[in-house]
Structure 1
Amino acid sequence: MTLSQRQIFIFPSRTAFFFALCLLVMLIAAINYQNNMSYALTFLLANLFVVAVLHTYANLSGLTITAVSADDAFAGQRSGFHFRFNSNNKHGHQALSVGWPLPSKPGKRRRFMAGLFSNPEMLAGEEIELEPGTSRDCVLHIPVGARGWYRPDRLRIESTYPLGLLRCWTWVDLDQRALVYPAPLVSPEPAGAAGDALDGRWLSGAGDDEFSGIRDYRAGDNPRRVYWKGLARGQALQTKVYATAIADARWLDWEQFPGLDQERRLSALCYWIIDYHRRELEFGLRIPGTEVAPGSGDRQRDTALRALALFGISDEGVEE
């Protein structure tokens, strides 16, 4: 979204009030002594304040902010929110402060006109600058809450450029969300996860671990696997077949963790999903209402973790 005039707020800073008080004293002194140089300096500084208003506003106007992506995270960790800033004016943007203010403490009353005279304390923030017609990517990391979808508050962008006499800011709602997985809980490996045949099985027709037999030659077979000795004996052209060993798929099941409440079961399952993926093992997942077929690799891990994160939660983040 591109910032427009209606979305930008501007207000004098504390320094501006001190500056105005000094101007008032200088004006009284100039009137009292009827000094032309005092008049000139007073009105020069007053004009400087007016010019600062225009430059402070222009520094924020025309800025385009785009939400790029949000990193998945585990409960209790930080998620990275990715943004892209584009400069659409001929002056660029200097000293922009971007981030999320700290939430107010529960039970604490918000003071009237709080945040108008001073910058709020930021939870996650960064200062950026943009040359005219350029863009810049920015990543802000913020602590996430419980599992499910995490949506941060509105992003705050502000600036006091160029003199610090005024504060110009805006709030941006980019409707970003990050998927939060359960926090992994170290637990004993569930009994029966590896199935009945722990010694694995053989998959014929793939790999080159063990010789499996001979079959008739097919167009496109690897010449290295052609049974040349048989051809030399006058036999028909044949191809040697090999087999490769594959491990039995492990199953992670909701019922394998008796005695644990819902969230701790999800956390235990999360731990073993990560462990099986690290060991490059094939695994499947069964939880109430969802079954993930056995598989391996990053995609299998992400699918299983997503099922845990959204257990009992709709895709919009509402509990079912």
Structure 2
Amino acid sequence: MSYAPEQASVANPQGWRARLRGRFQRWVKRRIPPSRSVTLDQKRIFIMPSRVGFFFLLCLAVMLLTAINYENNMSYGLTFLLATLFIVAILHTYANLAGLGVHAVLARAAFPGQQTEFDLRLERGGKRPRFDLRLRWPESSEQRINLADSASEVLRFYLPVGRRGWYHPGRLLIETTYPLGLLRCWTWVDLDLCAVVYPQPLASPELPGQAALAGDGGALPMPGSEDFDGFRDYRGGDSLRHVHWKGLARGQSLQSKLYVAHAERDRWLEWEAFAGLPVEQRLSHLCYWALDFDRRREAFGLRLPGTEIRPDSGDTHRELVLTALALHGVERPA
């Protein structure tokens, strides 16, 4: 029965492929660790012949065998000249990436199902121009750029995001086949750049608790205020300016005018307002009401387990509240 594991590995090739891929990814992570800013050097760059390069080498081998068979000096000279061209191309292809600077700039937040924006900056590094640089993340489209006239360039990528929390786009692939296409030089860079994914807004009929209070505030008696609210019976100590003299002249009882001011009530988005619902559903409801209050330009606060954001309004406050909802119970990816 000692052959059982061997048979299992043969029967399930995807298993050993996954293990091999995991080992390779761990090796790349040790060799090129995550960083917000990377300068490409010999340790971070890989180079191999491209498909055209392998065909070129095969042609060189055939030409060499032909030259040996026919003992033709012209064939020897052409074969060695092309081999020298291949060796020189190795140096130029490697130099097209060596010294290039890659810097993380920005990762914009988004809602599930939307596309988020990742910005990064490429720096030429010295006076050497860079040609035919190709960059892409696993789920983004490829961008090509030349750094000849400018020392740096900002690139913008759009990637679809999934569930709430942190979204990490993976390793950025940078490659080039300049100048002859015979060799492929590339690297995988982890820019340690993550985007925040907000909860999916989910409407609810009403917001339980204090946050559901309608109107701009509650009416409170404020002597001397400009807002007239009616009459009440005269009380000793009332200002004579507030006495309803016209009513007294018409034979009515002595009354005082009542003035009020509206005191703003604090709106709070409470975690316990949706008790009994699953965590994601609670966060989605709170996200909906946060956007609703922001749309109406009303001040509101947020209370989550371990987090309290005082009532306020504006774009900065909205982003603060949505980020707190997005990262509730979520750890930043290692």
TM-score, with structure 1 as normaliser: 0.72
1:82 aligns with 2:119: yes
1:19 aligns with 2:36: no
1:275 CA displacement: 1.9
Q: Distance in 1 between matches of 2:86 and 2:314?
A: 61
Secondary structure at 1:60 match in 2? coil
1:134 aligns with 2:161: no
Q: Distance in 2 between matches of 1:163 and 1:197?
A: 70
Q: What's 1:38 paired with? A: 75
Gaps of 5+ in 1: 102-121, 204-209, 213-242
Asked whether the equivalents of residues 277 and 297 of structure 1 are also in contact (C-alpha less than 8 Å), the reply is yes
Q: Given residue 58 of structure 2, which amino acid in structure 1 is its aligned partner?
A: L
Q: What's 2:203 paired with? A: 186
Q: What's 1:300 paired with? A: 317
Asked whether the equivalents of residues 283 and 294 of structure 1 are also in contact (C-alpha less than 8 Å), the reply is yes
Gaps of 5+ in 2: 1-37, 228-259
1:74 CA displacement: 2.1
1:97 CA displacement: 1.4
Q: Distance in 2 between matches of 1:137 and 1:6?
A: 25
1:262 CA displacement: 0.7
Q: Which moved more, 1:124-133 or 1:50-59?
A: 124-133
1:309 CA displacement: 1.5
1:300 CA displacement: 1.7
1:19 CA displacement: 0.9
Q: Distance in 2 between matches of 1:183 and 1:195?
A: 21
Q: 1:256-312: per-residue Cα shift (whole Å, max 9, x none)? A: 334521101101111111122122122222233322222111122112112211222
1:68 aligns with 2:85: no
TM-score, with structure 2 as normaliser: 0.69
Provide closer, same or farther for how the CA distance between residues 132 and 9 of structure 1 changes in structure 2, counting only shifts above 3 A: farther
Q: Given residue 58 of structure 1, which amino acid in structure 2 is its aligned partner?
A: A
Q: What's 1:51 paired with? A: 88
Paired residues, number: 262
Q: Which moved more, 1:285-294 or 1:84-93?
A: 285-294
Q: Given residue 273 of structure 1, which amino acid in structure 2 is its aligned partner?
A: A
Q: What's 1:5 paired with? A: 42
Q: Which moved more, 1:255-264 or 1:5-14?
A: 255-264
1:169 aligns with 2:186: yes
1:149 CA displacement: 2.6
Q: Whose Rg is larger?
A: 2
Q: Which moved more, 1:147-156 or 1:264-273?
A: 147-156
Q: 1:216-249: per-residue Cα shift (whole Å, max 9, x none)? A: xxxxxxxxxxxxxxxxxxxxxxxxxxx9978644
Q: Given residue 63 of structure 1, which amino acid in structure 2 is its aligned partner?
A: L
Select 2:132's aligned residue among 81, 92, 95. Answer: 95
Q: Distance in 2 between matches of 1:255 and 1:281?
A: 21
- Could you say which structure has the higher helix fraction? 2
Asked whether the equivalents of residues 124 and 130 of structure 2 are also in contact (C-alpha less than 8 Å), the reply is yes
1:133 CA displacement: 6.1
Provide closer, same or farther for how the CA distance between residues 195 and 15 of structure 1 changes in structure 2, counting only shifts above 3 A: closer
Q: What's 2:308 paired with? A: 291
Q: Which moved more, 1:137-146 or 1:2-11?
A: 137-146
1:138 CA displacement: 1.0
Asked whether the equivalents of residues 87 and 132 of structure 1 are also in contact (C-alpha less than 8 Å), the reply is no
Asked whether the equivalents of residues 198 and 248 of structure 1 are also in contact (C-alpha less than 8 Å), the reply is no
Q: 1:171-227: per-residue Cα shift (whole Å, max 9, x none)? A: 222222222211212322314555656353689xxxxxx957xxxxxxxxxxxxxxx
Q: What's 1:253 paired with? A: 270
Q: Distance in 2 between matches of 1:74 and 1:93?
A: 36
Q: Distance in 2 between matches of 1:89 and 1:56?
A: 16
Q: Given residue 280 of structure 1, which amino acid in structure 2 is its aligned partner?
A: R
Q: Given residue 151 of structure 1, which amino acid in structure 2 is its aligned partner?
A: H
1:62 CA displacement: 1.0
Asked whether the equivalents of residues 173 and 189 of structure 2 are also in contact (C-alpha less than 8 Å), the reply is yes
Secondary structure at 2:54 match in 1? helix
1:47 CA displacement: 1.5
Provide closer, same or farther for how the CA distance between residues 312 and 283 of structure 1 changes in structure 2, counting only shifts above 3 A: same
Select 1:275's aligned residue among 287, 292, 314. Answer: 292
